[in-house]
Structure 1
Amino acid sequence: MVVEAPPCPQSGNGFANGSAKPKAYRDEAERRRYEHHEADVVIIGAGIAGCALAVALGNQGRSVILLERSLKEPDRIVGELLQPGGVRALEQLGLRDCLEGIDAVRTYGYDVIYFGNGVKIPFPSDANDKILEGRCFHHGRFIMRLREAAAANPNVTIVETKAVSTIKSTHTGDVLGVQCQTDGKQDFYFGPLTVVADGYASTFRKEYLPIQPVAKSKFWGLELIDAKLPIPGHGHVVLGDFPPILIYQIGEHETRILIDIPDNLPSASVANGGVKGHMRNVVLPSLPECIRPSFEAALEKGGFRSMPNSFLRPVTNRIPGLMFLGDSLNMRHPLTGGGMTVAFNDVVLLRNLLSPEAVPDLSDTKLVLKQLSKFHWQRKSLISVINILAQSSYSIFAAGDPNLKVLQRGCFRYFQLGLIDGPIGLLSGIIRSPLVLLRHFYSVAFLAIWLHLTSKPIYLLPLTLFECIIVFLTACRVIL
């Protein structure tokens, strides 16, 4: 039964706060959310994954409480590039409108620049031969649009509060909900399913997951103003005798540049001027000339910010009453921009697996755990492709190892030969077959070996053959 009621009181951020309460309720579920802090699902984190899941479950009639530490617009240097596979998933969730009104830039592919030589790689085309589009945007603006969509859902209540710990049954150990701090006071939220979606620096991961993220480098970001890009409407990857550089336009006037700096990189040492010295001495001369003026201006302005480039292998959710989602569950190097594509596709899959038809009652923990086990295995077709592609691409293009440099040359030559449909289909989240990934990876490896073999004089053939074997073994180590 739906009861007419005025809109819920709102905080200054436009969302319900911990103490807000409507004068009348739309239905019993809303009354229980406000008065008893009880819902079908409690989600920690109103970010990419949390908001999308709240809307997806709310649209199915589930009662959802969405907890977020701060409802102010976030300001981050990652989560700004959405691949076509992510745009498609967003559309399936009914959230494509969130890409509108935020000055998002349409992207149609990549320009890969290797030692000054560029190759244009367009995204795949749809059935009508139209190139699929990605989007680049300011992360915070996109998050606010997702939060607006969640707040507009009558089955979702957003609460600005700090999640402190989970609430567990003293008898079974099942997770029953979340303990929070709201305006300095203790608060409790209950539901048969608690979803942890609190991002890369998850508060709850250490307590429940057996593995933790590994980060061996950071992305240092600058915002370029009115930068002239070699190919507008494309992301740019700059490669050479230095770690990768990623450039993409995020607004009408703003362009993001992300500079990978591994731990203990000599050119970024204190003796060489630190991070700024690396940017000035290594990055600046390596950029296309048209970008250099805006990069120099940003370099002088300063305001460098960094994010760790983490890898976290996904594990099956086995805790009754609890599941992890998004970066709290699984991360890969952001070089290929696959994080949000993974998150939105995960939500599409979860929406189906946890639907009221599949799981009539979320308090049936055995059935929920069975569905979460299915989630772990069914997501592998897409997620393993994106994860492996991200980690292997970074391993190849960031290292100074001579064997990896052979693979670098082979990869770029592969692109130059026009063999791009498979690789870009995988990168964009459209092709989901691990077998296609393996086929293209080893095709690159054998091309690299052939180029190396034919580049050496005949009298060095025995040594060259030995080097080729080492290159092949290196390729196997990278992909496996």
Structure 2
Amino acid sequence: MTISETTYSEYDVIIVGAGILGSAAAKALGDTGRRVLLLERDLSEPDRIVGELLQPGGVNALHALGLEECLQGIDGIDCHGYGVIRDMQTVAIPYPINPVSNKEAVGKSFHHGRFVNQLRQHASAVENVTVKEATVTSLLKEQLVGEDDELVGNEKVVGVVAQIKDRSEEKFYAPLTIVADGLFSKFRKEMTTKTPDVRSYFVGFVMKDVPLPMPEHGHVILAKPSPILMYQISTHDTRILVDIPGQLPSASNGDLKRYLHDNIAPQLPDTIRTCFINALETERLRSMPNGFLPPSINNYEGMIVLGDAMNMRHPLTGGGMTVALNDVVLLRELLSPEVVPSFTDTQLVIKQMAKLHWKRKKYCTSINVLAMALYRLFAAEDEDLAVLQRGCFGYFKLGGNCIDGPCGLLSGLIQQPLVLVYHFFAVAIYAIYLEFKTGGWRQAPMNFIKIFTVLYTACVTIFPYLWSELQK
């Protein structure tokens, strides 16, 4: 077959991208009887430095989708919460009780590619799901026709054009196409003019056999200029991610290693530093942009955009997969055959997508806003943010609800945005209290001024992100 030759196939739904969301959605929709085509540019095991820690809220969603077996056989590590390290002091933040099982909540960390491969295998095992390795090059569209058989100017998506490995071209038709092609989506612009706002980059690599301060926990080190993440992803492998604010310097690999050696290594706990320095010499450094993309409503006929293509947050809190899997649970409900008998009813699909946009706020708002707000606090670019950072660390040290609430939000177990607002401003007030307590009467005049500047900083940190969640 030459490049000009084309074959035609028709399905109920085409899914572009066999990552976390795409693979889970293929399985979920296939289980409801839909004929699903799952297209992926490269079906070999993915190799990424993010998407490696699934929060308990994501584990719950995985169980709801019947995909819990995907966490088995990948040498994953149970995660029971976080350890936050500041000035070499560590505070433990365990997960609260899981409201679904009424037992201790447990997350899972793993090599990203092994988990994705499991999801793909479970999707392909569904009888009416077809998985193909192909690069989607364009969307197939047709103009909409009005009541008088006149063209009305609008278009709808009716399928995709894909290039197969032998460079032949195929056209696949379906009344619904789900775009889940990730951070660098080339089809996002069909739905929204919003683009990712990249705030920083993660530089990451694997350290071998690291004695972590808190085994089976994620670790956040409040370093300068921004936080560092560590978590074990297999029996012998621990991922470390160093956040670099702004644009990634156009420096050589050697310059980047020197920066990490000279500036980051001294801020690590003694038990980590030697492993970090050794890994710098032996492991390959990888980078990944960290961006924010507020969600948009899906109102393009014949197409739905989901996953990182539609909504992103800083991966500091590891919430991306939890949001994606919960989106699939909700998508399966809203597009069930009982509610939408046929995807050819594009207006009904659009109506259901409007419901998805607002219903998902219950879980995604807390995760999205918390990730961005915590990143600002932990990066602490000015003195008022530094006050909030000290207050946040002190708030965690109080224990009880002061860690159960924030960790419940972070883990996706508490799905109440107002709880986030309560704890965020509780942190701000506690931060001001600590300034008065440590400053004494001599610093009282300055601390009275800080009441207003710190509260203002708290407001401009959280409210813009909350406002973005209220938009279409």
Q: What's the TM-score, normalizing by structure 1?
A: 0.90
Shift of 1:133: 0.7
Q: Identify the residue that residue 151 of structure 1 maps to in structure 2.
A: 124
The 8 Å contact of residues 122 and 131 in structure 1, kept in 2 or not, is answered as no
Please say if 1:334 is aligned against 2:315.
Answer: yes
Quick one: which amino acid aligns to residue 189 of structure 2?
K
Please say if 1:289 is aligned against 2:270.
Answer: yes
Quick one: which amino acid aligns to residue 161 of structure 2?
Q
Tell me which of 37, 62, 68 is aligned to 1:65.
37
Tell me which of 123, 144, 163 is aligned to 1:181.
163
Tell me the secondary structure at the aligned position of residue 298 of structure 1. Answer: helix
- In the comparison of the two structures, how many residue pairs are matched? 445
Tell me the secondary structure at the aligned position of residue 163 of structure 1. Answer: strand
Return the alpha-carbon distance in structure 2 between the equivalents of residues 138 and 188 of structure 1: 34
Shift of 1:467: 2.0
Higher mean Cα deviation, 392-401 or 119-128?
119-128
Quick one: which amino acid aligns to residue 178 of structure 1?
V
Shift of 1:193: 0.5
Tell me which of 420, 432, 440 is aligned to 1:437.
420
Return the alpha-carbon distance in structure 1 between the equivalents of residues 441 and 47 of structure 2: 57
Return the alpha-carbon distance in structure 2 between the equivalents of residues 466 and 271 of structure 1: 45
The 8 Å contact of residues 81 and 135 in structure 1, kept in 2 or not, is answered as yes
Tell me which of 15, 19, 23 is aligned to 1:47.
19
Shift of 1:273: 7.0
**Runs of 4+ in structure 1 over 4 Å off:** 268-273
Return the alpha-carbon distance in structure 2 between the equivalents of residues 367 and 178 of structure 1: 21
Tell me which of 206, 219, 239 is aligned to 2:222.
239
Return the alpha-carbon distance in structure 2 between the equivalents of residues 246 and 104 of structure 1: 17
Q: Identify the residue that residue 86 of structure 1 maps to in structure 2.
A: 58
Q: Identify the residue that residue 263 of structure 1 maps to in structure 2.
A: 246
Return the alpha-carbon distance in structure 2 between the equivalents of residues 115 and 310 of structure 1: 27
Tell me the secondary structure at the aligned position of residue 42 of structure 1. Answer: strand
Please say if 1:134 is aligned against 2:107.
Answer: yes
User: Aligned in 2, Cα 1:47/1:446: closer, same or farther, shift over 3 Å?
Assistant: same
Gaps of 5+ in 1: 1-34
Quick one: which amino acid aligns to residue 304 of structure 1?
L
Return the alpha-carbon distance in structure 2 between the equivalents of residues 388 and 252 of structure 1: 33
CA deviation vs aligned residue, 1:307-344 (integer Å, no higher than 9, x gap)? 00011111000100001010001000000000000000
User: Aligned in 2, Cα 1:185/1:395: closer, same or farther, shift over 3 Å?
Assistant: same
Shift of 1:295: 1.0
Q: Identify the residue that residue 406 of structure 2 maps to in structure 1.
A: 423
Shift of 1:453: 2.4
CA deviation vs aligned residue, 1:392-434 (integer Å, no higher than 9, x gap)? 0001111330000000010000010112110110010000001
Q: CA RMSD in A?
A: 1.8
Shift of 1:203: 1.3
Quick one: which amino acid aligns to residue 168 of structure 1?
K
Shift of 1:241: 3.2
CA deviation vs aligned residue, 1:244-292 (integer Å, no higher than 9, x gap)? 0000000000000000001268xx7969974222311222111111112
Return the alpha-carbon distance in structure 2 between the equivalents of residues 201 and 270 of structure 1: 23
The 8 Å contact of residues 272 and 278 in structure 1, kept in 2 or not, is answered as no
Return the alpha-carbon distance in structure 1 between the equivalents of residues 366 and 200 of structure 2: 22
Return the alpha-carbon distance in structure 2 between the equivalents of residues 349 and 206 of structure 1: 24
The 8 Å contact of residues 41 and 63 in structure 1, kept in 2 or not, is answered as yes
Shift of 1:78: 0.6
Tell me the secondary structure at the aligned position of residue 240 of structure 1. Answer: coil
User: For 1:95-134, what aligned pairs fall within 5 Å after superposition?
Assistant: 95-126=67-98, 130-134=103-107
Return the alpha-carbon distance in structure 1 between the equivalents of residues 301 and 381 of structure 2: 45
Percent identity over paired residues: 52
Q: Identify the residue that residue 207 of structure 1 maps to in structure 2.
A: 190
Q: Identify the residue that residue 147 of structure 2 maps to in structure 1.
A: none
Tell me which of 358, 361, 367 is aligned to 2:339.
358
Q: What's the TM-score, normalizing by structure 2?
A: 0.91
User: For 1:381-420, what aligned pairs fall within 5 Å after superposition?
Assistant: 381-418=362-399, 419-420=402-403
